[in-house]
Amino acid sequence: MSLPLPEILYEDNHCLAVAKPAGCLSTHYAGKEETVDRAVKKYLKEKYEKPGNVFLGIVHRLDRVVSGVLLFARTSKAAARLAEQFRQGTVEKVYWAVVEGRMGKSSGELRDWLKKNESTGRVMVVDPEVAGAREASLRYEQQAYADGLTWLEIRPRTGRTHQLRVQLAHQGHPIFGDRKYGSSHPFDHIALHARSLTFVHPVRGEPVSLTAPLPVSWRRFASLFQESPKWPRDR
């Protein structure tokens, strides 16, 4: 069964971005599971009646359990230029997360060293001297607190595997629903959403800002945070 095409947030001859649903893999590997990139390729092939294989450049990924803005390149030139922006850290990424407990400070920076345990798939905070450890940093700002939960806006400065999930859990504030990293709450997936992405267009050279609407599953938080000025009134 093919994966339905996610909502398209942006499309031109060089780039295409979608609102990735939680629970879907961003890209395929060796497996046969349907993925977002395959759904996008199918859409492009049918819309433009392209013969043969359709090029789609993978410039970044989102974890399966994470929703939000997912950007692709439609040409090799665009793919190279966008990938370089991600490598240089010039792409502005904004995430929304609902975490357990209340952060000690209303805003701040988290800086840790992370390493993935290949046998378990879990990422751990380790000492900087540990072989294979990679630095991870982010800035956060508390948007609202209610009923033991905090809504955070997060701007990662690095893009490590499971970075936000691990760093917040290490502070004693796991993301709501993230049972892998210590959450005590059941949830459809986890309350982590790639809310917006700002990049420089690979051809025109102008900034492009994209925003992904909140998933339906986030409606459970509306009654808690809807009084905050930044909480979306539409969805």
> Could you list the active site residues?
63
Residue 77: DSSP 8-state = H
Distance CA 146, CA 149 (A): 5
Residue 192 near residue 178, CB atoms below 8 Å: yes
Distance CA 142, CA 64 (A): 25
Closest to 79 measured CA to CA, from 52, 57, 53: 57
Residue 225: DSSP 8-state = H
Q: How far is CA 155 from the centre of its chain?
A: 11
Apex CA 39: angle with CA 34 and CA 41, to 5°?
125
